[in-house]
Amino acid sequence: MAGFHVMADAYGMHVQPAVRRITAADLWDALKLGAEDFWAKPSHYMFLCLIYPVVGLILTQWTSGSNAIQLVYPLMSGFALVGPFAAIGLYEISRRRELGMNTDWRHALDVRRSPALPSIAVIGIMLFVLLLLWLFTAQSIYTSLFGDQPPASIGAFVRDVLTTSKGWTLILLGNAAGFVFAVVVLATTVIAFPLLLDRDVGAVSAIETSARAVMANPLQMALWGLLVAVLLVIGSIPLFAGLAVVMPILGHATWHLYRKVIEPARVRPIRRPM
């Protein structure tokens, strides 16, 4: 009987979906299929995805107005940390289109009726905690180098970062720390949310399966992470407006990546007790 469950599936078992090996060609094909999903009925998705540039602009204005200019870049890069959760409605649209079902935008909210919703929520909370830890880490690095005083202005901050040894140290340490956070998120959630939408396997299995997928395809997953990072940067440059296209394409592409990496469910999946 299905009920509230997080650690395992509805039957209290730990399911281990089989992981495939993929190639770089599979990554490009996933992006191509993601773009096809987006362009099929883009007006349906713009309703969901225009929130990203709006939120980005609000965050930039808020941090600048609060003399927290040093957090603008960490907030921008933080999109990559919560992106897997934020795009969950897009996975649902791709799933429905794959099955030949109605893909009206309102069905992106059908996730709220998913039996795996508790597991989805738990992993989503984990990502937001990681985002907060990343912002705390970024602020700590800045404070250790420049002290407690916030930048006097955007111009002064840019000058200090680009023309001083402390600034270059900030760039190196900040990006190194951000890379660690990005690797953790990639390894634990690259296919976790699509898997939970497709099969109610529990949060632990979803995270573990993502990790196994990365270990089975280290170079391909590293390339995928690089593609995501580059596309998010490109989408963020024109005042975040490009995210209205980049985010949905990446969201849809992630669903197709999941399909390529994970074997279809068997009639009798192999289970082991928790």
pLDDT tens figures, 138-152: 999 999 998 888 787
pLDDT of residue 2: 46
Tens digits of per-residue pLDDT, 11-57?
Answer: 566 778 899 999 999 999 999 999 999 888 775 556 556 666 666 66
Q: How confident is the model at residue 238 (pLDDT cuts 50, 70, 90)?
A: low
**Strand, helix or coil for residue 203:** helix
Q: Is the pLDDT of residue 115 over 50?
A: yes
Alpha carbon distance 94, 213 (integer Å): 21
pLDDT of residue 212: 95
pLDDT of residue 229: 87
pLDDT of residue 12: 61
Q: Could you tell me which residue, 179 or 12, shows the higher pLDDT?
A: 179
Average pLDDT score over the chain: 83
pTM of the entire predicted model: 0.83
- Token pair of 260 as six digits: 């390529």
Q: What is the end-to-end Cα distance of the chain in Å, rounded?
A: 17
Closest alpha carbon to 37 in 114, 96, 109, 106: 96
